[in-house]
Amino acid sequence: MKEPKVRVGIMSGQEIRFCFHGDYLFGEACFTGEQLVTYSSEGIKWKDKYYSELLFEPSGFTESFFELYEVSIGIGFHWERRENQSFQGALKFIVENGKLLVINLVPLETYLISVISSEMSASASLELLKAHAVISRSWLMNKLKSVNGVLVGKSEKPQFAIQDSQLIKWYDTDDHLLFDVCADDHCQRYQGITRASRPTVTQAVTETAGEVLMYEGEICDARFSKCCGGAFEEFQYCWEDKKHPYLSRQRDSKKCTELPDLRLETEAEKWIKSIPDSFCNTTDQRILRQVLNNYDQETINFYRWKVVYTQDELSELINRRSGIDFGTVEELIPVERGVSGRLVRLKIVGSKRTLTIGKELEIRRILSTSHLYSSAFVIERKGDQFIFYGAGWGHGVGLCQIGAAVMGEQGYNYNEILLHYYIGAMVNKLY
Ligand SMILES: [Zn+2]
Ligand SMILES: [Zn+2]
């Protein structure tokens, strides 16, 4: 197999300004310097001519790059801003919904170096970076395969299952229609060569080139989250009801492999209120810094955490976040838990109505102004207060980033790290 090319959707707009640094080919002709492409009802306008699409290929791949002006990054987040960004590979313009869509066609390994440089902290160990390179590559190749010919929406749309008095939603990344991945956090953050890639990232990607996680001949859907809380969750408890054997329950430890049945309320309570030994049970700032972005580092208590609401606060929050009028929330009753103790279904008993909600992300969304760390929590009532005792950060399926960082520090290599989190999977070299 040859190294695939990735089609990355970078930006859209009515008018795109950019610059070719080095020579770019349009058909047989060669161009360099400042360019302007605009959208009009007659098509894509460039140098006073109209086209249905435009494709510019670098003439000497390693030296040429193009610079796009005013690219939006962090769309919808508090750090949203515009900046000029540079990219290697080919540049393509197409029309989508009355706008120009800018696509970068880039070899997969080049794409990965950029993605891992922007997503991972500079202090991450080589083995952790290698593990992440294999995961990102697997995630992407799994996605590339699923795109073919399937007509799907562009936004993150919740999937529904409504039965009687239940509202069960789960969110999954919808595929893009006209390209493979977008450049923003929705897929993986990609900023081309705007920021210099770090030598250890290049080394991690090069040394694992072409390697993906496979299970029974299929590329794995390599999910990961920040901190499992000591036990891995299974895929079907967070997303659609499909079992992936390599995403199975297990203790996040090699010393202690015993794991109680956390689907049982009494066991879940004992587990969440204790501090069991596991790889991700750490408050070592030096290790946490490898995984967390700067703005996350104020928080170090996510292996076990606590949140307190008064009854009024909780009622207001649930009514506002769910858009459903529950009246005064009187009780929150766990209905179903996954194998990591994460709640899959939670019954909300209000003075006006009672409804069971799920799955984990919807529960986290409704019970916090942003998102609760995880849905692995137990609730205690104390007078007017609802006290949430919780474990972990994120969905807990697949690789636990903090656990993996600790394993890297303890001398495990990337293969051992991956095979600990993706049970029964294998690392295969595809090209
Ligand atoms: Zn996307
Ligand atoms: Zn963990």
Q: Which amino acid is at 348?
A: I
Answer yes or no: is 397 within a domain: no
Pairing of strands 385-391, 377-382: antiparallel
Answer yes or no: is 138 within a domain: yes
Residue range 341-362, pLDDT digits in tens: 999 999 999 999 999 999 999 9
Residue 274 CA to ligand 1 center (angstroms) comes to 38
Containing 401, the helix (H) or strand (E) segment is helix 401-409
Question: Which structural domain, as residue segments, surrounds residue 335?
Answer: 311-377
Asked whether residue 17 falls in the same domain as residue 151, the answer is yes
Note if the pTM is more than 0.75: yes
Ligand nearest to the CA of 9: 1
Query: Residue 390's beta-bridge partner residues?
Result: 305, 377
Residue 12 CA to ligand 2 center (angstroms) comes to 38
Residue 128 CA to ligand 2 center (angstroms) comes to 14
Question: Domain ends where: 158, 177, 207?
Answer: 207
Residue 260 CA to ligand 2 center (angstroms) comes to 16
Residue range 22-58, pLDDT digits in tens: 999 999 899 999 999 999 989 999 999 999 999 999 9
Say whether 69 sits in a helix, a strand or coil: strand
Residue 13 CA to ligand 1 center (angstroms) comes to 17
pLDDT < 50 stretches in the chain? 147-156, 295
Answer yes or no: is 421 within a domain: no
**Cα–Cα separations (whole angstroms), residue 136 to 150, 209, 213, 364:** 22, 12, 10, 25
> From the DSSP assignment, how many helices (H) and strands (E) are in the chain?
9, 24
Ligand nearest to the CA of 282: 2
Residue range 76-100, pLDDT digits in tens: 656 677 889 999 999 999 998 889 9
Answer yes or no: is 58 within a domain: yes
Decide: 337 and 263 in contact? Cβ < 8 Å: yes
Asked whether residue 188 falls in the same domain as residue 58, the answer is yes
Pairing of strands 166-171, 354-358: parallel
Instruction: Please choose, from the candidates 414, 8, 3, the residue with its C-alpha nearest in 3D space to the C-alpha of residue 193.
Output: 8
Ligand nearest to the CA of 188: 1
Count of domains for the chain:
2
**Cα–Cα separations (whole angstroms), residue 389 to 42, 230, 341, 346:** 60, 15, 12, 15
Decide: 341 and 376 in contact? Cβ < 8 Å: yes
Answer yes or no: is 52 within a domain: yes
Answer yes or no: is 406 within a domain: no
Answer yes or no: is 69 within a domain: yes
Asked whether residue 69 falls in the same domain as residue 199, the answer is yes
Question: Domain ends where: 179, 207, 235?
Answer: 207
Residue 301 CA to ligand 2 center (angstroms) comes to 13
